[in-house]
Structure 1
Amino acid sequence: MTDTYGENYFLIGPYFPEKAKLDFRPIRELDDSPLSNAIRHIRDLGFEIHFGYWLLEEARPKVILINPVISMEALNAAKTILWKHHGISTLENNALLDQVIGFGEVTRLFLTKLIEEINIDQDVIAHYHEWMSATSLPELTCRQIRLATVFTTHATLLGRYLAPNEPDYFSKIRAFDWAQKAREYGIEAQVKIERTVAKYANVLVTNSASTASECEAFLGRHPDSIVHSGIHRKPGVGHEVFEKHLQNREKIDAFVKALFSPSYQLKIEKTLYFFTSGRYEFRNKGFDVTLQAIARLNAELVRRKSDIHVVLFVISKQPFYHVKPDVLEARQRFQELQRICKMISARLGPRIYANVTGSAGHKLPDLNQLVDDELQMTWRQALSNFKRDSLPPITTHHLTGQDEVLDFCQQAGLNNKEDDRVKVIYHPDFIERATSLFSMDYLEFVRGCHLGIFPSLYEPWGYASMETVLHGTPVVTSDVSGFGRFVKQAAGMEGNNEVKVVKRREQSGEDAIVQLTEIFTEFVEDFENQQYIPRATLPKSVLDSLCWSELQKRYEENYKLALVRYQPVAGLY
C-alpha cells in the first residue's frame, strides 16, 4: 500500500499506550499540511490524537492513533446521533462499546476536517476493517462528506455467536431471524451498527464465500467482492525451509528441556511439537476438539507403549497476572547448567589433550582423574539446584480466572505426568521476541514445530493455518475455514500430508474428534516409521494467489468501484 500510494496513505486506529510503546514512533513537529491542520483541530476540541510511524518489518506507514475514551458529554452526543439518525440504541452499560463509539466519533470529526482542508479535486477513500472501526461511516455518508467508503467485514458478529451455540448452524444460516438472535445473545446494538455500516458503505468486501452467505443473511447485503487474506512476501523454499525449521526447533528444544528435565528426562529426538493458536474462542477455534483428540492420542500411545512423545502448545491470549516464577526459574537454572557444562568442557579439553600427548600416549585417560574437586562440587551443586520433585506446569502464566483449557486438562488427566506420552504447555500470551519465554517470535516458533492444528468450527478465513503451511509446517484445518475450503477447492491439496481437512460443516463434534485423533495417530506413525517429518510446500500458483502483491490489484478494483458509486454522474472513473 505504501509503495502504491506513498505519502497519501495513512492508517487510523485506537491509541493504547502500552501497545504504542512497541510499534509506534511519534512525529513531534506538525507542518502546515491539511493532515496536520486536521490533527490540530481535533486536539483543540479536547480529544487525544497522535501522529507518527508504525514500525513494521519492511515498511513505515504513517499512522494516526485516537484515544477511544472520550468525555461523557461527547460520548452522549455521539450516542444521540446514532439513535436519532440511525435508530441504534446504545443505552446499556458497555465499556467496550463506548470505546468503539468514542473512536468513531473522533474519527468522524477528523475526516470531516481533513476533507475541508484538502483541494476539492483530491479523491479520498476510507477503507474500514470490521464494525469496531466503522461507527463513523454512516454519519459521514448521511452528511454527504466528500468521501468514498469501503467496508471489509472479516467475520460477522452473529456468525461468531451462533456457530458454536446453534445446532446445524451452516444449514440454517438463511433461516435465522437476525434481530431476534441479536436480542437473544445481547448484542443488538453491535449487530445494528454492523448492518448500518454495511448498508451505507459504497463497497462491501468480505474474505470468503462462507462470510458472504452470512452477509446476505445477517447484514442484508451481498458483498461486492471477496478478497481473502494474504502474506506480505513468499517464504523460502526447499533447503531454506528445512534449515530454518532445524534452527528454530533447537530453541523450542531448549525451552522444553528447561521445563521438563528438572522433573524427568524427555527424549527430544523422539518428541514431536504440535501447536494450536488464535483468538480465545474455545469452541469456534476448535480448542475443544483438539484437546479431546489429543487426550485420546495420549491414551492410545500409552496403550501401545510408544516411545514417541508429543508436546502440544496452546497459544492464545488470556488475562494473566504474571509468568509463573517456577517457569522463569527453570529456564534460568537450565541456562546456568548449560554454562557450567561449557565451563567444564573448556577446562577438560586442554587436560585431555595434554594427557593424550604426554607420557600416557594414546591411551584413553580416566576422566574422573581429570576432574578436580572444584569441578565436581560445581557440577553436583548445579545438578542439585536443577532437579525438582513436582510435575512440569501445564500453563506458563498465573491466569486471573477460570479457564476452559486448564479445566479440560485437569478433568482429562493431562497433567504432564512422566508416563503420559502427550504433554501440554499452555502459553496464554502472544509470542514476541522481546517478551517471549521461547526467545523467538511467533513465526520462528511456527517454523520450529512439526504440526499446526486449526480444526475451527467458525473461521471465515483462517490466517493462522495459511501462515503456518506457508512457512513450511504441515497443518490441520477444517472445511468451514475459508482457507480450508480454498485448499480443498482451488488448490486441490486435500488428502496430502501437508494439509489435512477435518469435516465440521455437516459432521458432529464427536465425529470430528474421531477424525482428528486418526490424523494425529497417522502423523505419529509416519514419524515412527521415517524418523522424519517433511516440511510443507505449496504449488507456485497457490503461493502467487496468496501474496499481497497479487491481492493488491483486488483492492484497487474495489477503490475504483467505490469512487464510481460515490460520484456516479461524474464519469471520471
Structure 2
Amino acid sequence: MKPDTLLFEIAWEVCNQIGGIYTYVKSKAPAMTDIYGDNYFLVGPYFHEKAKLDFRPIRELDNSPLSRAILYIRSLGYDIHLGYWLLEEARPRVILINPIIPNKALNEVKTALWQHQEISALESNVLLDQVLGFGEVSRLFFTKLIEETDINQDIIAHFHEWMSAAALAELARQQVRIATVFTTHATSLGRYLASNEDQYFCKIPTYNWQQKAREYGIEAQAQLERNAAKYANVLVTNSESTAAECEVFLGRKPDSIVHSGIHRKPGVGYEVFEWHLQNRQKIDAFVKALFSPSYQLRSDKTLYFFTSGRYEFYNKGFDVTLQAIARLNEELVRRKSETNVVLFIISKQPFHNIKPDVLEARQRFQELQRICKMISAKLGPRIYANVTGAEGRKLPDLNQLIDDDLQMTWRQALANFKRKSLPPTTTHHLTGQDDILAFCQQAGLTNNEGDNVKVIYHPDFIERVTSLFSMEYLEFVRGCHLGVFPSLYEPWGYAPMETVLHGTPVVTSDVSGFGHFARQAAEMEGNNEVKVVKRREQSSEQAVIQLTEIFLEFIEDFESHQYIPRATLPKSVLDSLCWSELQKRYEENYKLALLRYQPVAGLY
C-alpha cells in the first residue's frame, strides 16, 4: 500500500454505543491511528445526545479534498460533521452523518434501490429508513471526495455490518474509484434463526435465505447485506461459523477470517489481583448499600457473577443463565450453604429513570459511612485520653465516651437507613416488562433473605460518570469472580474475551468464536479459567444442567479454598489477540481490495 493511502472505516457504532461492534471499533482505533495517522477516518451516524458525550467537532475546515466534500454535502442540505472521537488512548478523526433525511430524498433513495437492486423498502421501519438515509449521504460524500482527489490517490472504504453498508453496492454500480472491504460480524438471518430454529447450526446448509428472510420480515435488510457482500472487493468475517453462514445467506465465501482483538495487553501477576481487590471493594459498597437496609450479606461469603451484552434474551444465553442460577439457588438452600451469589445482569434496555429507592439507599449508606467516620474521629482521642489517664488499665465503656448529640445522630441515620421491603431486583424503572424481569418473578428470584442467590438487573451501560457503581465496565469486570456467557449465537464474543483477559474466570459456549478460539488456540478446555458450555448440539435443557454443574463446582472450590484464583493467559495467546498483530491481517485484505479494484495497474 502507498504511504498516503486514505482509509475510512464505516460502522453504525462509531460514537454510538450499542453492542460488541462498538467495543471492536473503539479498541481497534488506537492501533489504526498509530499506523495511518491523519489518513485514518471513522465514519458513523450522528445522534446528538450520544455524540455530545465524546465527540469534539472541528469548526474550521481547510481547503483539503475532504473538507470540500463535506462542504458540498452541507450545501445539499444534509447534516454532516467532522471532528475527533475522544477515546481514552486515541483521538481518531471521525465523520458523523445524520441518518435522518427529508422524506422526498428518502423516497428517491427507495425508488433507486428498487430500480438498481430490486430491493423493496416500501414496508419500512425507523431503523431501515435511517440506514438508507445514512447510505445515501455516505454515497454522495465518497463520490464527491473521489472527484476532489487526485487520480493517483488510493482510497479504501471498510464497511462493518449491513447498517453501515447501504452505499456499497451503489458505489460499485457507479464504478466510483474506491476499494471496498465488507466485514460481517454476524449475519442478520443468523441472529433470527439461531434463537427460533432447532438444531440451527446443523441445518445451516439447508436454508433458503430468501424464504427465511421473508418469513421473519427482514427481506430488505437481508438483501442489503447480501449485496454488500456480493459487490465488496473483499469479504471478511470473524469466525468459522459465520463464514459458513456467509456462504449460504450471503452467497459468497469470505476471503479471510480475522477474529476480534484488544488494543493493549492487560496487566499480569500481582497487578491483576490488586485490581480485583480494589474494584471488588467498590462492588461490595454498592451491594451493601442496596442490601444492608433489608438484611446483611457477608462480603467474605459472597461471590459476584455477571453476564452482559446486547439484549437478546435467547441468543446471549440470558435464558439459560437464569434457569441455571435458579437451580443453583435451590441447591444452595437445600445444602444450607453459607455462600451467597449475586448475579449482575448488564444489558441496555429502555428505561424511565433509576429507581428512587436505589439512589436513596446509596445516599443513606454514604451518609452512614460519613457519620461512622465522624464518630470515629471524635471517639479516637477520647479513647486515647481514657487509656492514658488514671483509669487506663480498665476497658472503657464506649457508650459513656459518646455524647448525646453523637448518639442521636447515629440513631437517626440508622433509622433512615433500615427498611422493611426487599432489595430491588432491577435498578431502573423499565418502560415495559421484559423476559428477564418476568423470569425472575416467576422463579421467585426476588432477593429474599432466605435465598442464597440474589439478582441485580442493571439495564444500562456501566460508565464511571453515569453508573451506580462509580466505575467503568472493565473495572466492574475485574471486581467480579465469574463472567457467564453461554451464548446460543455469538460469532465472536467480546464480553467473554475481555472478561478473561482482565483476570476474571469465564463461562462461554462452543458456538462462540472466542469459545472455539479458547478450546483450539489456547488449549484451555477443562481448566478453571475458561469453561465451555456445549450448545452446538445440546438442547437448552442440557445446557442448563451443564451450566448449573459448573456453578456448583465453582462454589465448591471457593468453599474449599476460600479463594478464587484470577485468570491468566499465555503470552502467545495474548499476542494473538492484540490489534498490533491482527491489523497485519487487515493490511493484507486492504492490499487485496486494491488489487481487485484496479488489477490492470499491477501496483499490488
Match of 2:348 in 1: 317
Q: Count the aligned residue pairs.
A: 573
User: Offset at 1:341?
Assistant: 0.2
1:456 to 2:487 alignment? yes
Match of 2:233 in 1: 202
User: Offset at 1:149?
Assistant: 0.1
Q: Which moved more, 1:283-292 or 1:77-86?
A: 77-86
The whole-number CA distance in structure 2 between the counterparts of 1:7 and 1:440 is 32
Match of 1:408 in 2: 439
1:299 to 2:336 alignment? no
* Cα offsets for 1:168-226 (capped at 9, x unmatched): 11110010010000000000000000000000000000000000000001000000000
User: Offset at 1:360?
Assistant: 1.4
Match of 1:6 in 2: 37
Match of 1:554 in 2: 585
Match of 1:273 in 2: 304
Name the SS of the counterpart of 1:255 in structure 2: helix
User: Offset at 1:366?
Assistant: 1.1
1:40 to 2:71 alignment? yes
1:420 to 2:458 alignment? no
Residue pairs, 1:77-476, within 5 angstroms: 77-476=108-507
TM-score (norm 2): 0.94
Match of 1:483 in 2: 514
The whole-number CA distance in structure 2 between the counterparts of 1:393 and 1:54 is 36
Match of 2:87 in 1: 56
1:22 to 2:53 alignment? yes
One-letter code of the match for 1:474?
A: P
1:508 to 2:508 alignment? no
User: Offset at 1:361?
Assistant: 2.4
User: Offset at 1:80?
Assistant: 1.3
User: Offset at 1:362?
Assistant: 3.3
The whole-number CA distance in structure 1 between the counterparts of 2:40 and 2:399 is 69
The whole-number CA distance in structure 1 between the counterparts of 2:588 and 2:34 is 17
Name the SS of the counterpart of 1:569 in structure 2: helix
* Cα offsets for 1:111-157 (capped at 9, x unmatched): 11111111111100000000000000111111111100000000000
User: Offset at 1:78?
Assistant: 1.1
The whole-number CA distance in structure 2 between the counterparts of 1:98 and 1:215 is 25
Select which of 542, 557, 563 maps to 2:594: 563
Residue pairs, 1:505-544, within 5 angstroms: 505-544=536-575
User: Offset at 1:261?
Assistant: 0.2
The whole-number CA distance in structure 2 between the counterparts of 1:78 and 1:126 is 21
User: Offset at 1:364?
Assistant: 2.0
One-letter code of the match for 1:124?
A: I
> What is the Cα-based RMSD across aligned positions, in Å?
0.5
One-letter code of the match for 1:96?
A: L
User: Offset at 1:528?
Assistant: 0.5
* Cα offsets for 1:441-460 (capped at 9, x unmatched): 10000000000000000000
The whole-number CA distance in structure 2 between the counterparts of 1:290 and 1:106 is 42
Match of 2:6 in 1: none
User: Offset at 1:93?
Assistant: 3.2
Q: Which moved more, 1:461-470 or 1:1-10?
A: 1-10
The whole-number CA distance in structure 2 between the counterparts of 1:72 and 1:324 is 39
One-letter code of the match for 1:123?
A: D
The whole-number CA distance in structure 2 between the counterparts of 1:448 and 1:21 is 30
Match of 1:69 in 2: 100
One-letter code of the match for 2:351?
A: F
The whole-number CA distance in structure 1 between the counterparts of 2:89 and 2:471 is 19
One-letter code of the match for 1:524?
A: I
Q: 4+ runs of 1 displaced by more than 6 Å?
A: none
* Cα offsets for 1:32-70 (capped at 9, x unmatched): 111110110000000001110000111000000000000
The whole-number CA distance in structure 2 between the counterparts of 1:95 and 1:353 is 70
One-letter code of the match for 1:288?
A: D
TM-score (norm 1): 1.00
User: Offset at 1:82?
Assistant: 1.0
The whole-number CA distance in structure 2 between the counterparts of 1:419 and 1:207 is 45
The whole-number CA distance in structure 1 between the counterparts of 2:91 and 2:384 is 55
The whole-number CA distance in structure 2 between the counterparts of 1:205 and 1:93 is 28
* Cα offsets for 1:370-404 (capped at 9, x unmatched): 01111111100000000000000000000001210
Q: How much identity, in percent, do the aligned residues show?
A: 81
Name the SS of the counterpart of 1:164 in structure 2: helix
One-letter code of the match for 1:52?
A: G
One-letter code of the match for 1:225?
A: S
The whole-number CA distance in structure 2 between the counterparts of 1:523 and 1:87 is 54
User: Offset at 1:363?
Assistant: 2.5
One-letter code of the match for 2:457?
A: Y
**Gap runs ≥5 in structure 1:** none
User: Offset at 1:17?
Assistant: 0.6
Name the SS of the counterpart of 2:115 in structure 1: helix
Q: Which moved more, 1:221-230 or 1:357-366?
A: 357-366
The whole-number CA distance in structure 2 between the counterparts of 1:71 and 1:311 is 49
User: Offset at 1:411?
Assistant: 0.4
* Cα offsets for 1:256-300 (capped at 9, x unmatched): 000000000111110000000000000000000000000000000
